[in-house]
Structure 1
């Protein structure tokens, strides 16, 4: 397949038709699931099944939050049971000690959880690696022991006499009545979570798993998004605790300890931690399996010892061995489905920034320096890029080219020097602020979200565009108040993909593309940010000859439209035939600058770089 052509529109439409023609089995499953839930309490179902269904629903609500936090956001938490306890104890205390309405108890629980989760999240969400899960264990244990040692909460005996929950004056006195309330909340949480994940902030949350560098370079405020998803997961757990308190009519600290926190995380992982449906499957499988083992093993092995824990652990290890991505992923292979989002055929265009007049000084790099301990990676390098020109940054491997890119885009901090964009100093600003000003970039090593579609990966580049303040929020996304804005973003992503020749791959997973196609995808994502200056780090790597020619034609077209391009590239034929000027680096130092013809004749360049006899290598 030849990319970067002007012919993909018809293929994209055909691809979209093929995808839309697939059976929407997940919707059929959802309808059947809702009908089964509605019928279960109405039929002469054994009371034990109703009780089991109630607990599966309560656990599912917590697991949905963990899907958002761990499976999508990439942040592991063992402490969600503590937030369940906050919801349960808030309503239990206010209703039993002050006779207040349970709904006031719910609001109080949400408020307490919001405060606690915001404080805890602000501290722990900055951690990475094994420190984050260890921190969640620490605060989970702290809240558990707090519940058991506070006198007004009844210490380890807890609180009893919690009143019946009433909805519109109808008391939910029986387990069957509570069944409807619990599962209505679970279904609502599933819908809100699905809406969120298929939106602008949802793509930002999913980008967290791909690393902070890429997400920030697309304009995502990663610290804020981590805090938001952490609080949201805590809120789901709090509501589960509220429902649990009014189902049991009594609370004590036992269900809110570390063991239950581990079980909640296990449910999400076993079911399929990256999928909302996986939370339901995991909660159902683990709850039913645990109950079966508790009833069966005493007859086989005797009553002495908790053998069900041992067998349960062995079965879970086996399950993860044969379905490492979760049960839901394993089941989904048998039912091919369409993408989560589609690119519209038409939409209103997003606003575009006005490009500066040709020849205007756009980027001014002044004596930038970067030291890593005693190593000088970039040694007082200076150069300029003007509007409407293509500048190449070349040099042997290890010359400091990509580090210079990172200094310009805020990925790395300067040791000394200054970077100006237009009339503004952008040195050491966060990447998200630099891209907002009109600098888009690609990466030397491809930074994509392989499990997301090509379309959604590219739409991430438009994160800051459009009416972001009004329609970029999490609440607007969950309530589908951003539909028109989403159409604009997805149409822009489709337009840029067609522009670079990937219009027939809109709904493929990005990880299924060849390396060269992934680099082209990164260019489309950068174009989605509507930059005035485009920084491309080895864009032609992995492309075939005709594809390189098409890429060069695209970059010339962008230059004609007023865009400036700064690129790092090792293919000398590609660079020499494309760029207006070249900046040559060696060992972190600029050794030459000028037109391609001038650089080719420079003795320092010939000796350091071109004199190797291999003008396509390095």
Structure 2
């Protein structure tokens, strides 16, 4: 009974811990973890363990940097060791005697600052001796690596998956080759030696592992803090949206070019910090320290911990680094002892450290087969819904309020909100849009119908910038938007849903909606990291706006606020996608078969919502195959067939049009 009581008590304690808000858990864990880190060197027992921990911090930094690129943004980088090398050689060249340029007056300010010295040898021109301080070089190498990250990332912007991995692998191989062959700058295969160790207020770190341990601990703490701030910001949500669905991210206002380059730059900067710290500790840098196996090892850390999971990546990096430096060596001694005990020459010759790449390969294979989300995934646990929260009967006529909406009478201004003229799009010999002309006034609800393959979704893709038209023009409020990138069109007030639901599956309902608010927010990287009052206020307003939109859907979505969307029912996924589109604050909302998969009662409820949104001044273009619903809610109906507009007018007029009956209704009846 006592054991049972202890077990139940442990479960209750764990349940209470999980029930605490994330911010409260961090307030408890942060001082505890920092305290453990500060006490460890004094409890370790010997300097060797402290040295191993200090080296492990290098790999924690590398894993955190790669987690930004792979875990947050979903960009598979197999050449990450290149930035490790650039940071290492950047500091190594600046803090050693390898490079000796000629003296000129331009070096005088740095000589005055104590970063360089003038060398005068009789009979030879004066030269410069570099001995840059470690502390400013941390920032300099991070900036240099960020620039190289953008340069390496720019050619890969259109690549995904295997192709991206191959290109980054090539970059990762180029850098060590350059370091091995550029003798004047890097001293070739022999590498750099005599690199100056850090000094702080006159104290030289020298070769003792203890100051490097505390320095590494501080760098890791800063990197974790930055990662958390980025992950929970507008920037982090944009990265994760690109990771989940790049096309849908663009349709929500995320500039994928900007944010991919930003991910490469931030990840490379952290890799540069790791390289600077590493060579400052070792006082040497050789090309063999930055080869492909290093990239693989760091990738193993990220995959093992969990893509996007900061805590998981830190723990996995510590484990893998200590596995390499301590655990495998100790295990090898145990295997040798076992071999001597049983008289096995084979076991006495085993060296596990030589099988490190094999072990990494096995870890990757096993993780991909059995636990792709990692050992400590980023997805948060959510509590089960109560019976009241799960119950949601269809309700019609509920009031809809949006604080930012301004009601617009149907048919409003004389000039159309959207004007399409002569729109054309061809795929080879197939015409998906053939000289389509269409005007939609502010406040209207226009439906586009037609048989499958008639070009309805293509029309939406052309309006929202997912496809470039071959001819014609698309204007919003008189301004040309045809051919603009999708994120710019969203910023101008056009939002959409998709025929096949495209949500960010591993994000919560709230996070999906906050991505929809992306184009209306302003915080950048510095704002996300520093979290100034203006940025905090902006985030609070975004959450309030998301809750306002979720209230429209009542008990359908509000209780599932923190639930990942992959666990929602099909109908609730549809509602979440509509809510996300509303979060962009659109002037024009394009709904592509929003009632697909809903039963008749849910369909009527949704149509009431759509009419209410129109009443708030949002102009709506609707694609829907449920014709009775279309005829009931629409101000006008446009009919497409094989990319050609064959009819347009009031619902009753279109219903009786012979061309519509032949092209759409007639075919449907014959098919039945």
Does the alignment reach a TM-score above 0.5? yes
Verify: 1:552 aligned to 2:581, yes or no. Answer: no
Corresponding residue for 2:537? Answer: 484
Report deviation, 1:444.
0.8
Verify: 1:52 aligned to 2:52, yes or no. Answer: yes
In structure 2, how many angstroms separate the alpha carbons of the residues matched to 1:318 and 1:431? 39
Corresponding residue for 2:439? Answer: 384
Per-residue CA deviations over 1:364-387 (Å, capped at 9, x if unaligned) read: 121211100111111222222111
Instruction: Compare CA radii of gyration and give the structure with the larger one.
Output: 2
- Shifted more, 22-31 versus 90-99: the winner is 22-31
In structure 1, how many angstroms separate the alpha carbons of the residues matched to 2:236 and 2:330? 42
Contact 2:408 2:615 in 1 (8 A): no
Contact 1:91 1:104 in 2 (8 A): no
Corresponding residue for 2:123? Answer: none
Report deviation, 1:544.
2.6
> How has the CA–CA distance of structure 1 residues 427 and 233 changed in structure 2, closer, same or farther, with 3 Å as cutoff?
same
Corresponding residue for 2:174? Answer: 142
> How has the CA–CA distance of structure 1 residues 57 and 304 changed in structure 2, closer, same or farther, with 3 Å as cutoff?
closer
> How has the CA–CA distance of structure 1 residues 512 and 304 changed in structure 2, closer, same or farther, with 3 Å as cutoff?
closer
> Secondary structure of the residue that 1:584 maps to in structure 2?
strand
> Secondary structure of the residue that 1:371 maps to in structure 2?
strand
- 5+ residue gaps in structure 1? 1-17, 339-348
Contact 1:25 1:337 in 2 (8 A): no
Corresponding residue for 1:94? Answer: 94
Per-residue CA deviations over 1:305-334 (Å, capped at 9, x if unaligned) read: 93454355435533543332211129x88x
Residue from 181, 196, 213 that aligns with 2:247: 213
> How has the CA–CA distance of structure 1 residues 204 and 288 changed in structure 2, closer, same or farther, with 3 Å as cutoff?
same
Report deviation, 1:358.
4.2
- Shifted more, 391-400 versus 113-122: the winner is 113-122
Verify: 1:506 aligned to 2:561, yes or no. Answer: yes
> How has the CA–CA distance of structure 1 residues 614 and 350 changed in structure 2, closer, same or farther, with 3 Å as cutoff?
closer
> How has the CA–CA distance of structure 1 residues 311 and 408 changed in structure 2, closer, same or farther, with 3 Å as cutoff?
closer
> Secondary structure of the residue that 2:472 maps to in structure 1?
strand
> How has the CA–CA distance of structure 1 residues 312 and 592 changed in structure 2, closer, same or farther, with 3 Å as cutoff?
closer
Corresponding residue for 1:105? Answer: 137
Per-residue CA deviations over 1:164-223 (Å, capped at 9, x if unaligned) read: 212344433321121111011111111111111111111111111123321111111110
Verify: 1:365 aligned to 2:401, yes or no. Answer: no
Verify: 1:426 aligned to 2:481, yes or no. Answer: yes
Verify: 1:70 aligned to 2:70, yes or no. Answer: yes
Corresponding residue for 1:442? Answer: 497
Matches of residues 5-16 of structure 1 in structure 2 within 5 Å? none
Verify: 1:533 aligned to 2:592, yes or no. Answer: no
Contact 1:22 1:337 in 2 (8 A): no
Per-residue CA deviations over 1:109-154 (Å, capped at 9, x if unaligned) read: 2342233222212222332232211111111111111112222322
In structure 1, how many angstroms separate the alpha carbons of the residues matched to 2:424 and 2:528? 42
Q: TM-score, normalised by structure 1?
A: 0.89
In structure 2, how many angstroms separate the alpha carbons of the residues matched to 1:290 and 1:178? 19
Contact 1:569 1:575 in 2 (8 A): yes
Contact 2:146 2:264 in 1 (8 A): no
> How has the CA–CA distance of structure 1 residues 600 and 515 changed in structure 2, closer, same or farther, with 3 Å as cutoff?
same
- Shifted more, 561-570 versus 169-178: the winner is 169-178
Residue from 187, 193, 196 that aligns with 1:163: 196
Corresponding residue for 1:602? Answer: 657
Verify: 1:302 aligned to 2:302, yes or no. Answer: no
Contact 1:368 1:381 in 2 (8 A): yes
Matches of residues 557-576 of structure 1 in structure 2 within 5 Å? 557-576=612-631
In structure 1, how many angstroms separate the alpha carbons of the residues matched to 2:290 and 2:366? 27
Corresponding residue for 1:344? Answer: none
Verify: 1:79 aligned to 2:79, yes or no. Answer: yes
Corresponding residue for 1:7? Answer: none
> Secondary structure of the residue that 1:130 maps to in structure 2?
helix
- Shifted more, 111-120 versus 85-94: the winner is 111-120
Q: How many residues align?
A: 584
Corresponding residue for 1:12? Answer: none
Report deviation, 1:21.
6.2
Corresponding residue for 1:611? Answer: 666
Contact 2:238 2:254 in 1 (8 A): yes
- Shifted more, 397-406 versus 491-500: the winner is 491-500
Q: TM-score, normalised by structure 2?
A: 0.82
Verify: 1:475 aligned to 2:509, yes or no. Answer: no
> How has the CA–CA distance of structure 1 residues 54 and 549 changed in structure 2, closer, same or farther, with 3 Å as cutoff?
same
- Shifted more, 203-212 versus 299-308: the winner is 299-308
Corresponding residue for 1:493? Answer: 546
> How has the CA–CA distance of structure 1 residues 176 and 489 changed in structure 2, closer, same or farther, with 3 Å as cutoff?
same
Corresponding residue for 1:329? Answer: 377
> Secondary structure of the residue that 1:440 maps to in structure 2?
strand
Contact 2:382 2:563 in 1 (8 A): no
> Aligned Cα RMSD in Å?
2.6
Residue from 271, 275, 279 that aligns with 2:313: 279
Per-residue CA deviations over 1:447-499 (Å, capped at 9, x if unaligned) read: 11111110110111111114x2xxx2111101212111111111111111111
> How has the CA–CA distance of structure 1 residues 301 and 76 changed in structure 2, closer, same or farther, with 3 Å as cutoff?
farther
Residue from 179, 196, 213 that aligns with 1:179: 213
> Secondary structure of the residue that 1:83 maps to in structure 2?
helix
Per-residue CA deviations over 1:376-429 (Å, capped at 9, x if unaligned) read: 111222222111111100111111100001111111111111112121121111
In structure 2, how many angstroms separate the alpha carbons of the residues matched to 1:277 and 1:439? 38
